[in-house]
Amino acid sequence: MAALRWSVRSTMEPGAIVEVFVVHSDNLVEEADALLPALSPAEAERAARYRRSEDRSRFIIGRGLLRRLLGDRLAVAPRSLPIEAGPFGKPALAGGPGFNVSHSGRWIAIAIGDREVGIDIEERIALDPLPLAALSPEEQARVRRAADPLDAFLSIWVAKEAVLKADGRGLGGGTTPFTVPPDRMGRPHLVRTEGGRVAGIGVATLDLPPGVHGAVAARGDAWTLDTFLGTADECLAHGRRAVRGRARSDLCLEVF
């Protein structure tokens, strides 16, 4: 498969940027070997406990690339970053940017922002019957009307997962008490809910190749989505360019 890579920068309301890095790898083991040194000792031990090589490689790529990206952003050695699980199990970096990781098959997605973020990516899989009970009544109606019900279901499901991960408490509160808006491509839209913990979270659909669904969520809707798809090395290079761009902008602000 030829290397996939593109960069998409939405131009919506001014505000913070949520960066998304999506990796597709035809050689998970090779990319994992290159990123293994970025892991902390505890993460390396966890990786060694995986029985399936693909599961081990996905974990190493996701956590290793995350650490490299955060290390470049914060000018800190990647393996020394104190990433720890929060009270609900979501990894976090005290005082640092918000981040989240998701993977499916040979796809790994990472979101980084100045606030809590959530991301989900899923390869198209057969589901029969569709678990419509996990959706709100409005979402169920959308799936039933769709020309491709499975495609419609997965598009909604990744958005709901991303919202719950942005909230930081996972699936414990259920997926039915809120509704994701139908038009989410490239820009955030607030979920619809009668109050509750996910009120005020915005979600956007990621522009990905056919057969892959993804979404990213963060508090509010005044944030800009910057998405890059490529190899792990290409994602690192893109991240470094973004870091240098922010440094130049800060310098201009100080001078003028």
Other C-beta atoms within 10 Å of 190: how many? 18
- Is it the case that residue 2 has pLDDT exceeding 70? no
pLDDT score at 175: 74
What value does the mean pLDDT take over residues 24-34? 90
- Is it the case that residue 27 has pLDDT exceeding 70? yes
Quick one: DSSP state of residue 233?
Answer: H
Cα-based distances in Å from 161 to 54, 116, 173, 202, 203: 23, 14, 12, 12, 10
- Is it the case that residue 38 has pLDDT exceeding 90? yes
The mean of the pLDDT values for the chain is 87
- Is it the case that residue 8 has pLDDT exceeding 50? no
Measured CA to CA, the distance from residue 143 to residue 130 in angstroms comes to 9
Confidence of residue 48 (pLDDT cuts 50, 70, 90): very high
What value does the mean pLDDT take over residues 159-179? 83
Min mean pLDDT across 97-106, 121-130, 212-221, 239-248 is at: 239-248
What value does the mean pLDDT take over residues 244-251? 59
Q: Among residues 100, 71, 68, 105, which one has the least CA distance to residue 86?
A: 100
Confidence of residue 142 (pLDDT cuts 50, 70, 90): very high
CA 156 to chain centre: 15
- Is it the case that residue 114 has pLDDT exceeding 80? yes
98 and 104 Cβ atoms separated by less than 8 Å: no
Measured CA to CA, the distance from residue 256 to residue 49 in angstroms comes to 53
CA 34 to chain centre: 21
Degrees, nearest 5: CA angle 33-117-92? 60
Confidence of residue 89 (pLDDT cuts 50, 70, 90): confident
Helices (H), the chain: 28-35, 41-49, 53-74, 137-145, 149-167, 232-255
195-206 per-position pLDDT tens digit:
777 889 999 999
231 and 23 Cβ atoms separated by less than 8 Å: yes
Phi, psi of 236 (to 5 degrees): -60, -45
Instruction: Retrieve residue 184's tokens.
Output: 């989410």
| This model's pTM is above 0.85 | yes
- Is it the case that residue 171 has pLDDT exceeding 70? no
Check if CATH label 3.90.1150.10 holds for domain 6-255: no
- Is it the case that residue 91 has pLDDT exceeding 70? yes
pLDDT score at 95: 86
- Is it the case that residue 3 has pLDDT exceeding 60? no
What value does the mean pLDDT take over residues 48-74? 96
